Amino acid sequence: MSENLNVLTSTQAIIHEALNKLGYDEAMYELLKEPLRMLQVRIPVRMDDGSTKVYTGFRAQHNDAVGPTKGGVRFHPGVYEDEVKALSMWMTLKCGIVDLPYGGGKGGVICDPREMSMGELERLSRGYVRAVSQIVGPTKDIPAPDVMTNAQIMAWMMDEYSLMDEFNSPNFITGKPLVLGGSQGRDRATAQGVTIVIEEAAKKRGINIRGARVVIQGFGNAGSFLAKFMHDLGAKVIGISDAYGALHDPNGLDIDYLLDRRDSFGTVTTLFENTISNKELLELDCDILVPAAIENQITADNAHEIKANIVVEAANGPTTAEATKILTERGILLVPDVLASAGGVTVSYFEWVQNNQGYYWTKEEVEERLIKKMVDAFDNVYTTATTRNIDMRLAAYMVGVRRTAEASRFRGWV
Ligand code: GLU
């Protein structure tokens, strides 16, 4: 039987198990197995050549019992409805794990920004906001960057919402440029969060980061900042990749050079001839492996070939349920996405708080608060996993879903 690669059904299965372990009944699972709201929109965009193209977009709101929903918007040709639903559920879990007063939301548009001009991207971004405007807002659902969206796109979206709202509304969206009410440290927050959990995981495994061999799949926002942080901590980044291939040097890659040459989508391997495949990259002999790209990269097919001691998921959903089992059985410490990549939404929350107050924090204040959130979250999940003798993913789901379940109960929804 081939493995289930549908991210929605596999997420539902773990949420079910987590709720069972927490003592909740089927009614709670019925509430939480799907988003409360899922809006599909069609967005007409005038292209540079005068033609009109109609794009399909989504916004999912998993559960708002705790507070407004929160989560990014991705622009990617492979976006599909079930994926957006699962991504919104993962946001609920992330917010629960780092204890933010939000539920999970997520959006996506089926498009390829690498093939669009700046003008076309701006019109699509503004069109998306107009299309979902009825269900989003600073106290309802707060978007942010995700795969192939960035601070410029957040700026256009914020401007469009402000025009409709007839009020400057920086708290509508996070991940904005600093001059428009962005937060210090938001651009690097996901990678910083990953770095913090890598340090915690390495302590548990007695690995010294200085000299540790690190492999990172993906050179986008998370992957590229992470390569830099690992390099600066004295680790040897021996492999990186983008959507087109991977680079490997057992003596450590020249990260500063690669960062300098990458384009805005994180593409860099096309400049080199002696590349290896993404599959080969994942199977490299290393201490720490960080999938920081897309879903379903470590599956039942290659989980036995992974040689890392620690796998830290900076991407959303890179390891399947079957692969999680295999890695755990093989004694590999797997730090799951909903914990490892929660640094981004954590600093997004800080950004929203600063926007609401109109008072801005220093880089040091942001960093100090992020470290505390991530270290506490890691401890909480690690302790749950070891005391209950379960894998880190199930432990993270238990920690993450509990608050939304409790809030739903208090509200009398279940
Ligand atoms: N898109 C990021 C994530 O998957 C960040 C979401 C946010 O900042 O709201 O966690």
Reduced to 3 states, what is the DSSP secondary structure of residue 237? strand
Tokens standing for residue 234 = 């004295």
**Which segments of the chain belong to CATH 3.40.50.10860?**
37-168
Average pLDDT over all residues of the chain? 97
Atom of ligand 1 nearest to the CA of 71: 9
pLDDT digit string (tens) for 23-41? 999 999 999 999 999 999 9
Dist. CA 7 → ligand 1 center (Å): 17
Q: Which residues contact 259 (CB under 8 A, 6 or more apart)?
A: 224, 227, 228
Mutate to test the pocket of ligand 1, among 76, 79, 89, 91 (most ligand atoms within 8 A of CB): 91
User: 49: CA distance to ligand 1 center in Å?
Assistant: 33
Q: Kindly tell me if the per-residue pLDDT of 244 is higher than 90.
A: yes
Q: Contact, 218 vs 395, CB < 8 A?
A: no
| C-alpha of residue 262 to centroid of ligand 1, in Å | 22
């409360």: which residue's tokens? 36
| Mean pLDDT on 122-127 | 98
Model pTM above 0.95:
yes
10: Cβ contacts below 8 Å, ≥ 6 apart: 4, 320, 321
Asked if 151 and 182 touch (Cβ cutoff 8 Å), the reply is: yes
Ligand 1 centre distance from Cα of residue 342 (Å): 7
Q: What is the pLDDT of residue 250?
A: 97
Task: Tell me the pLDDT band of 140, cut-offs 50, 70 and 90.
Answer: very high
pLDDT tops 90 at residue 2: no
Q: What is the model's pLDDT at position 1? A: 52
In order of 3, 143, 178, 295, the CA distances from 92 in angstroms are 25, 14, 26, 18
* pLDDT (mean) for 181-187: 98
- Count of alpha carbons within 13 angstroms of residue 123, beta-carbon side: 15
Segments of the chain assigned to CATH 3.40.50.720: 189-331
Residue 345 Cβ inside 6 Å of ligand 1? The answer reads yes
Task: Give 329-388 pLDDT, tens digit per residue.
Answer: 999 999 999 999 999 999 999 999 999 999 999 999 999 999 999 999 999 999 999 999
Average pLDDT over residues 144-156: 96
Q: What is the pLDDT of residue 80?
A: 97
Q: Which CATH architecture has domain 37-168?
A: 3-Layer(aba) Sandwich (3.40)
Q: What is the pLDDT of residues 169-182, one digit of tens each?
A: 999 999 999 999 99
Determine whether the shortest distance from the Cβ of 344 to ligand 1 is under 6 A: yes
Rounded Cα distance between 209 and 32, Å, is 39
Determine contact, residues 207/288, Cβ cutoff 8 Å.
yes
72 CA distance to ligand 1 middle (Å): 5
Q: Which of 106, 176, 228, 236 is catalytic?
A: 106
Q: Which residue in this structure is represented by tokens 């959903």?
A: 317
Does residue 162 surpass a pLDDT of 60? yes
Q: Is 72 in the pocket of ligand 1 (CB under 6 A)?
A: yes
> Nearest to residue 265, comparing CAs of 286, 244, 236?
244
Residue 106 catalytic? Answer: yes
- Arithmetic mean of pLDDT, 393-414: 98
Residue with tokens 């929350």: 349
Q: What is the pLDDT of residues 35-69, one digit of tens each?
A: 999 999 999 999 999 999 999 999 999 999 999 99
Which atom of ligand 1 is least distant from the CA of 342?
Answer: 10
Task: Say which residue, 400 or 2, is predicted with more confidence.
Answer: 400
Using CA of residue 40, residue 66, residue 159, residue 72, what is the dihedral sign? negative
Q: pLDDT above 70 covers what percent of the chain?
A: 100
Per-residue pLDDT for 307 more than 60? yes
Confidence at residue 81, expressed as pLDDT on a 0 to 100 scale: 98
- For the segment 282-310, the average pLDDT, to the nearest whole number, is 97
User: Looking at beta carbons, which pairs linking 331-337 to residues 24 or more positions away fall under 8 Å?
Assistant: 332/306, 332/308, 333/201, 333/204, 333/205, 333/309, 333/392, 334/310, 334/391, 334/392, 334/393, 335/197, 335/198, 335/201, 335/310, 335/311, 335/378, 335/392, 336/381, 336/392, 336/393, 336/396, 337/90, 337/313
Closest atom of ligand 1 to 143 CA is 9
Q: What are phi and psi of 110, to 5 degrees?
A: -80, 105
Query: What DSSP state is assigned to residue 304?
Result: G
* CATH dotted code for 189-331: 3.40.50.720
